[in-house]
Structure formats: C-alpha cells, structure tokens
Structure 1
C-alpha cells in the first residue's frame, strides 16, 4: 500500500564538510523520539544511480517522463525509510545533498539542509590524526602509495574536487552561493561543540519543529563495522559528552595555513544562506542570520 502524504514523514538533510560535526549533530537529534538521524546513508548513492538510469545518456532516458523521474526518486527516500513508522521527521545525511538542492527542493519543497562546517585546516588535521592512529592499515581514502606517501600527498589528495574534502567543499560552496541558499543553514563545528544548548534551539527553529530538551552529557553514536571496512577506525565515533578539546595541529605549518584560508561561509554579504555564527568577543551563538540580509 502506498502511504498517503498525510502519513509520510517530513524530510530534512544533513550535509556539509567531513569531520565537521554531522555525526555529532545526528547523534544529538536522534535523542528526540520523533526524529530519525544517523551517519551518511546510502540514499544519496541510490538517488544518483537512479537518476543516471533515467536521464540523457541512458537507453531509458527517452521513455521516462520528468514526472516519472520525480516519483521514482521520491520513492527511493520513501522506500528506504518505510520502516521508520514511528518517526515524523527524517534527517538523511550525505555530503552529496549540497550539490543536489534544486532536485531536493523540487521533491520536498519544505525541506531544509543543515550544513556542518569547520576550518578546513582542522579537517585535514583530524583526518591525518585518524590515519596515523592506525599505521598498519591502508585506508580506502587513498588509492595507491603515490597518494598516501606523505602528509603532503595525503592532504592534496583529499582536497581534490572529486575526493573526500574537495568534493564536499565544492558542493557546499555551490549551495551557499546558489539560488536555493535560503533553505541552507550553516553550522560551525566549534560552536556546536562548545555551545550545543544555544545552537540546537536555532536548528529547531530553522526546521520548524518544537524544541526538545537534549542531554548533551550522554550523546552516543558509533559505526565500527563501517569504519573498519573503510580502514579508518573512529571516523564515526561520538564521545558521550559534547565538548571541544584544545590541541596543536600535527600538520606542517605551511600546509595547515594553506587550508585554513578556505572558510568562504564567513562571506555573509553575498549569500542568502542562514548562518549560525559566533560573536568573536564572547564565543556565543547568535541567531541564524535572516535571509536577504
């Protein structure tokens, strides 16, 4: 039986940069019994594969109408989450979604995308730490020895436009300056980790849901099987207590500085995106910046 629109959950999306708090945010949101949220799902890959099969270049493209494509693609979401019968809101996570805003908002006009961000230098530092923590494993993030030889080759590989960090950064930049930016909320990792009690109410307001009292001292999430298959243990492990740990970077200074300059989301004057920013003098969360300001 096809569910009626009245019984379908509302869909929102978590996207943005890797190692920037998307798993942490999902772990917090899933405390709300009305919500489903988790690490990256296969829905984004299924969405792309389906679209490839019914678009130009495929033998089936000429015989599938645009409306049929919409139904097929929406059906990917509805079928994958069909067992979440007790949830009224689904947050699907994928770095792909920032590059698919026109399609997402056509399928789900009221959907919002929450993009987690972080200083790219610290993103590279975080991935490099995980790599060095398991020196007897060749992670699948790198194809061959030429890519994994040194910290310079590893970081440069990750930054390529079709790789882990470079793709996510490019997709987010497209969404941030695009015509659908009003449906995007950018959340800085450090602010989320330091002041979750201030950030979460703003997120609830953005997605139009009643607030929920979260327990930021008991946040748990891990996916050891997935991380082991990727060859990078701890990639999706969330510590129980939300907070920041101060440390020095393990990257060479020139490499860290090169990537620390890439925070385009601070350019608020040329985007309609909503941004939860921190007051530099107090480190406190401000309200999501209204659109068109």
Structure 2
C-alpha cells in the first residue's frame, strides 16, 4: 500500500515539534522536526523553471514524477510507516504543488500569538549568551531586543516568512486542506486537539501518552547556535510566565493573529467554544 503524505507547517515556536513528537508515538506514523525535503524541492523547482538549462525539455508529467519521487525516495527507509508527516514552514507557500502531487494530503499549520513567539525566541537567545546564533547575520541585527525582534519579523526571515506563508495558505484556494492548531490549545487540551487532528486526516484514534513525550535534536540546534530549539518537555502542559519583551514590542506583535478571524477563509481552525472562553 502506498504511503500517505501529510504536512506540518505554520509558525516557529508554535508546537510543531511537540505535535510531531506526539504523532511519532503512533507506530503507524512517521513525524519529526523540519526535514530537508522542502529545500530539496525548492532546488529542484529552480532546475525545472524558465532560465534553467533543462527547464525547456521537462514536461509537466516529468516534473510531477521527479517531484513526487523526491518525497518517496527520502522516506524510502520508512516503508513500515503508513502515514508520513513532513515538517517545513515552507509548505504553506507551496500548497498548489503539494496538493497537485498529493491530492488527499492535509496541512496542519501550528500557530501561536506572535508576541509569545518573539518572547520564546528571545529567551532562547538570552539562554545562549556566548553564542551569536545563525538567526542573525551581523551585530546590527543582534544588538538589542528591538533589532532582534524586528529582524525576525522581516518577510524573508524566520518569523516573518512563516507568517506570510501561513497567511497565503489561510486565504488561498487550497485553504480547505489546512487545519490551524493553536499552541495554547494544544498544551491545555492535548487529547481533545489531537483527536480533532486525527478526524481531519481521516485516521483511527491512537491512545497517546501525554505525560511521557520525548524529543530533542541537540546536534541540529547546536549547528544553528540555538540550544534547546527543538527540545520538548516530557509532560504536555501550560507553562505560565511573564513576558521578557518590552511592553510596546509585545503589543505590536500580539495584534498579528489573523487566523482568529474566520472571515474570508475556508481553512479549518480549532477554536475554544464560547462557553469555554469564559471559564
């Protein structure tokens, strides 16, 4: 039986690694942190396109076979897994190609209040005070919390690109294939949220252990110079804390949660019921 492919995308520091760690508990599933497939797909697309040496001689069917073959070849070692979840923030910007290659695929987009994303990344930066990290290109970008946050918010950087790609998917013509999963809801009610994910992808429920979640990628994080970026706490739960961002920066980025407004989008969003919001 051919493997089913689904995709995890969305915003950084919004629960994609936690979600992958939970899905990985299911012996039928393969999931993990960001894979290189997105970068390989982008590089292949450049060779297909106008201006490349070979673009003119590749038919659409050849491009489709080569693209699908990339996914199948990369995951050839996971033949014992029936369902593959590939993670990359790029996928929200590539839905036309993804759903042409895999018409039944679903995209799970992890989101979080952008102010708390910035807070989380700033905490990681401060926790590594003897490392410049590869998140920033020079001292001008990394000098202060204001320059760091503004840099990350640019449309071609870690948070800004992911936010723009998510917005494209949320309002685009493939939005019905997108499920938006909020980090706060995932940590508050992991079983309820995960059951909705299973319903969305059409898979039978598996009993997960939310008190024994294991995932870490220290080598990858060390290469980025951001220790702890993909470390998941053992027990799923809410961690209440005070922000370390200045109030004006927090307010600026807290207003960017466009997915809270369902108008103009056919995307699926896991939301609190009105009676739960008052609890």
Aligned to 2:51: 57
Aligned to 2:60: 66
The equivalences for 1:163-174 within 5 A come to 163-174=157-168
Aligned to 2:202: 208
Q: What TM-score do you get using the length of structure 2 for normalisation?
A: 0.98
Aligned to 2:98: 104
Q: What TM-score do you get using the length of structure 1 for normalisation?
A: 0.94
| Residues 14-68 of structure 1: CA deviation (Å, up to 9, x unaligned) | 0000000000000000000000000000000000000101111211110111111
Aligned to 1:32: 26
Question: What is the number of residues matched between the two proteins?
Answer: 278
| Residues 246-290 of structure 1: CA deviation (Å, up to 9, x unaligned) | 001000000010000000001112100000011355259xxxxxx
Is 2:13 the partner of 1:19?
yes
Is 2:189 the partner of 1:195?
yes
Moved over 6 A (4+): none
The equivalences for 1:274-285 within 5 A come to 274-279=268-273, 281-283=275-277
Aligned to 1:248: 242
Unaligned segments of structure 1, at least 5 residues = 1-6, 285-293
Unaligned segments of structure 2, at least 5 residues = none
Q: Which one of the candidate residues 141, 149, 163 is aligned to 1:155?
A: 149
SS in 2 for 1:69: helix
| Residues 177-197 of structure 1: CA deviation (Å, up to 9, x unaligned) | 000000000000000001001
Is 2:223 the partner of 1:229?
yes
For 1:251 and 1:57, the matched residues in 2 are separated by 45
